């Protein structure tokens, strides 16, 4: 695996592959890598000639300085894991490399998508995600981009970004990887104590409850049972439990078998905010 820290360095290297018309696959990350990232890299390897990963903890997507300061950083372990997974190239830029001083940050017309769910609870978050992903895409110029379904709304935002920028990059959304208990793999899980990690599995159980009962119980009743279960199992706050159309993320209040429904959750246990989702039909 070759590591590049500068745009010039990675560009010179990738140009050779571009000229040979090799398929470049790309997995952007913020590090603290886990089995979910490994699965993205493996998907990328299986569908590209060259696998590029980046690690950059992007300051512009954090609306909470405390969250940014506490974001886990495990760079030595990450490099080892990427090497073992067979990643070809790691891009490890500094903030100054990606955000040169005095450069104005772009803003994107994301519309409805950034007013709901994560967009509502983390104002400015998706602008920050688009700022960094667009910069990274301009540098890596991949053919294929691999992202995880756990961040479902982020995938939709990136799809919108690709549309807004007339990009030809093909976005491939990979399934959520879970611990044996069902808890979705997340970089934030390392901040959970053993007890809270086991309590947090209620999120997946609640999602499964929704899947099992969507056609037999009214959505409002399912939602209040899920809320009660989360709170009883140690969650301190629930930002949302939302039943939405999976294609547009517009809320759904009554189920019809023709709907393609996704349920999304964001909830906090001992200052660790977790998100997850499940497509119900």
What are the two backbone dihedrals, phi and then psi, of residue 52, each rounded to the nearest 5 degrees?
Answer: -115, 130
In the list 151, 196, 223, 276, the residue contacting ligand PAF (rule: CB under 6 A) is: 151
> Is there a contact between 11 and 141 (Cβ–Cβ < 8 Å)?
no
In the list 132, 156, 162, 214, the residue contacting ligand PAF (rule: CB under 6 A) is: 132
Nearer to ligand PAF, 129 or 206 (CB): 129
87 is a site residue for ligand PAF (CB under 6 A)? no
Measured between alpha carbons, how far is 172 from 127 in angstroms, rounded to an integer? 21
Residue 154 C-beta: closest distance to ligand PAF, Å: 6
In the list 10, 14, 24, 30, the residue contacting ligand PAF (rule: CB under 6 A) is: 30
* Stretch in the footprint of ligand PAF (CB under 6 A) among 4-12, 90-98, 126-134, 267-275: 126-134
**Residue 84: Cβ-neighbour burial (10 angstroms; 0-12, 13-18, 19+):** exposed
Measured between alpha carbons, how far is 162 from 137 in angstroms, rounded to an integer? 10
Question: Which of the following is catalytic: 34, 37, 125, 143?
Answer: 37
**Residue 226: Cβ-neighbour burial (10 angstroms; 0-12, 13-18, 19+):** buried
In the list 10, 41, 89, 129, the residue contacting ligand PAF (rule: CB under 6 A) is: 129
What are the two backbone dihedrals, phi and then psi, of residue 100, each rounded to the nearest 5 degrees?
Answer: -55, 145
What would the DSSP string read from start to end of 173-235? EEPPPB-TTSPBP-GGGGGS-HHHHHHTTHHHHHHHHHHHHTTTS-HHHHHHHHHHHHHHTT-
186 is a site residue for ligand PAF (CB under 6 A)? no
Q: Which residues contact 18 (CB under 8 A, 6 or more apart)?
A: 24, 141
133 is a site residue for ligand PAF (CB under 6 A)? yes
210 is a site residue for ligand PAF (CB under 6 A)? no
Neighbours of 139 (CB within 10 A): 22
Nearer to ligand PAF, 29 or 51 (CB): 29
Nearest to 48 by CA among 143, 169, 120, 159: 143
Nearer to ligand PAF, 55 or 278 (CB): 55
Residues in region 32-61 near ligand PAF by CB under 6 A? 58, 61
Q: Please give the size of the binding site for ligand PAF, defined by CB under 6 A.
A: 10
Pairing of strands 261-269, 272-279: antiparallel
* Stretch in the footprint of ligand PAF (CB under 6 A) among 87-95, 128-136, 213-221, 255-263: 128-136
Nearer to ligand PAF, 30 or 222 (CB): 30
25 is a site residue for ligand PAF (CB under 6 A)? no
Give the side-chain half-sphere CA count within 13 A for 225. Answer: 14
Is 170 among the residues known to form the active site? no
Nearer to ligand PAF, 34 or 199 (CB): 34
Residue 214 C-beta: closest distance to ligand PAF, Å: 28
Which residues are known to be catalytic?
A: 37
Write out the residues near ligand PAF by the rule CB under 6 A.
Answer: 28-30, 58, 61, 129, 132-133, 151, 154
């Amino acid at each position: 695996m070759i590591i590049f820290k500068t745009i010039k360095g990675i560009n010179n290297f990738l140009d050779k592959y571009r000229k040979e018309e090799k398929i470049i696959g790309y997995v952007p990350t913020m590090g603290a890598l886990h089995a979910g990232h490994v699965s993205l890299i493996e998907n990328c390897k299986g569908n590209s000639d060259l696998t590029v990963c980046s690690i950059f903890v992007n300051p512009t997507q954090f609306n909470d300085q405390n969250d940014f300061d506490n974001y886990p950083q495990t760079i030595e372990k990450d490099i080892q894991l990427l090497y073992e997974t067979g990643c070809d190239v790691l891009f490890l830029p500094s903030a100054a490399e990606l955000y040169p001083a005095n450069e104005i940050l772009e803003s994107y017309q994301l519309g409805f998508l950034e007013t709901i769910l994560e967009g509502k609870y983390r104002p400015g978050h998706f602008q920050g995600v688009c700022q960094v992903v667009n910069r990274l895409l301009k540098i890596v110029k991949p053919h294929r981009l691999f992202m995880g379904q756990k961040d479902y709304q982020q995938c939709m935002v990136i799809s919108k970004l690709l549309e807004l920028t007339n990009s030809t990059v093909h976005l491939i959304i990979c399934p959520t990887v879970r611990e044996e208990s069902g808890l979705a793999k997340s970089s934030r899980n390392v901040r959970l104590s053993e007890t809270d990690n086991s309590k947090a599995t209620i999120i997946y159980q609640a999602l499964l409850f929704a899947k099992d009962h969507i056609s037999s119980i009214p959505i409002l009743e399912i939602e209040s049972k899920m809320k009660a279960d989360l709170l009883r199992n140690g969650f301190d706050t629930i930002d949302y439990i939302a039943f939405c159309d999976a294609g547009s993320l517009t809320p759904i209040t009554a189920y019809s078998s023709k709907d393609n429904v996704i349920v999304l959750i964001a909830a906090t246990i001992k200052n660790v905010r977790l998100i997850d989702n499940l497509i119900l039909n």
